[in-house]
Amino acid sequence: MKSTIVKFTAKPEHKDTFVATLKEAQAATQKEAGNKEIRVFVSKAEDNVFFVYERWADKAAITSHDNEPHTKKLMEVGQTALQSAPDFYFLGDTNPLPDHSKSANPEDEVFIIFFIFKLRTEFREALLEQFEDHIIHTRKEEEGNILFDLYTVDNQEDTLAVYEHWRKESDVWDIHFNQPYAVKTGKLMEEAVIGDLKQYMNFVKEI
């Protein structure tokens, strides 16, 4: 299995055209044999910033996807509609492996985060080890957590990506961050992450 995150920043005057094309591409991608999951999100802070999360059978499925007509159409529209080239993150699984077995309840507000951050590489192994413990506890013990995955990024030793779904926002700020394992992770990240942690946090909603 291979996961990807793609970030698109549309020109404000072209965002409606771009998101319509993006949704068309999503519908077509779901029919591809190698696609296991594709979800599209918009930033809560900037309505012209979009994230696409995908899971694929393997790298060959991604290569095949790149040659599909709907993918080529999206890239062609993007030449006019986007402010800059998309940011592609080709992800590597870490331990524990991604677990998407939980789902939201009808009453859940659902709070979603993409946290893609730069770190000082000398802290990389320590962070991966700490996050393993952190994620095991989060998935097992926190009722408010729906999904919590950590990924490496191919060819970027200084980058890690966290993808999270929560039943409501307060489950993050009021409960999760006060857990002993989260406090320990937070202290390590203050040393490891380059710059302010907040600059890397993207709060999104699914479209």
**Token pair of 178 as six digits:** 């006060």
Element (H, E) at 30: none
Same domain, 52 and 106: no
Distance separating alpha carbons of residues 4 and 88, to the nearest angstrom: 7
Average pLDDT over residues 129-144: 98
Same domain, 85 and 109: no
How many structural domains does the chain have? 2
Average pLDDT over residues 21-39: 98
C-alpha separations of 150 from 21, 24, 179 in Å: 29, 28, 18
Same domain, 139 and 195: yes
**How much is the pLDDT for 181?**
98
Distance separating alpha carbons of residues 123 and 157, to the nearest angstrom: 11
> In which residue are the tokens 């957590």 written?
145
> In which residue are the tokens 């529209």 written?
77
Domain boundary residue, one of 91, 122, 153? 91
**How much is the pLDDT for 56?**
98
- CATH (domain of 183): 3.30.70.100
Average pLDDT over residues 88-98: 97
Does residue 164 sit in helix, strand or coil?
Answer: strand
Write the DSSP assignment of 175-189 as a string of letters: IGGGSHHHHHHHHHH
Same domain, 80 and 141: no
Same domain, 170 and 147: yes
